[in-house]
Amino acid sequence: MIAEPDERVPISVTVNGTRHETSATPRTLLVHLLRDELDLTGPHVGCVVGRCGACTVIWDGKVIKSCMVLAVQADGTEVETVEGLAADDGTLSPLQESFWANDAAECGYCTPGMLMAACGLLRENPAPSTAEIRTAISGNLCRCTGYVNIVKAIGDVAAAGKG
């Protein structure tokens, strides 16, 4: 098959456990599919050239930047966004609680990306060192420079064994 530039390509994608049958033109980025078609505005659009990490999501288990993937590539795959972290009744996840308790958000723009990068880290490495935490969020910029509290928040939840 070849999809023409103005053709809407069918995309079947599971996001935060819910299956969506949607579509997008080839030039549409995954972040725009999530935000504009699926109304999931947690993944933020920051730099748009893959440097800031505000659009970070987990894609088939891997932490990635959703502005660096085409929406059509997500067909048949699974995406997790920050909206999927809290329970259905709004109870925050331990990681979100820890960000709250540590004042790890200032303006909050980078927070969804930070949370997803941290979430991916803790799944693979439930007890990371401070250096490993810093490496894991090195692709996520916080222009308020609130890194100290972010690293502390991730470290606290790991130390509590709730990663």
Q: Which of 73, 97, 125, 147 binds other proteins (CB under 8 A)?
A: 73
Instruction: For residue 131, state whether it binds other proteins (rule: CB under 8 A).
Output: no
Q: Which of 105, 117, 119, 150 binds other proteins (CB under 8 A)?
A: 117
User: Helical H runs in 13-71?
Assistant: 30-32
By CB neighbour count within 10 A (0-12 exposed, 13-18 middle, 19+ buried), where does 79 fall?
buried
H or E element in which residue 78 lies: strand 78-80
DSSP 3-state of 91: coil
Q: Which of 1, 21, 39, 89 binds other proteins (CB under 8 A)?
A: 1
Instruction: For residue 65, state whether it binds other proteins (rule: CB under 8 A).
Output: yes
Task: Select 40 or 71, whichever has its Cβ closest to other proteins.
Answer: 71
Instruction: For residue 48, state whether it binds other proteins (rule: CB under 8 A).
Output: yes
Cα-trace Rg, the chain? 16
Question: Tokens for 84?
Answer: 């999927």
Task: Select 40 or 57, whichever has its Cβ closest to other proteins.
Answer: 57
Nearest to 99 by CA among 151, 50, 29, 53: 151
- Contact residues for other proteins (CB under 8 A)? 1-6, 9, 25-29, 32, 48-50, 53, 56, 62-65, 67-70, 72-73, 117, 120-121, 135-136, 138-140
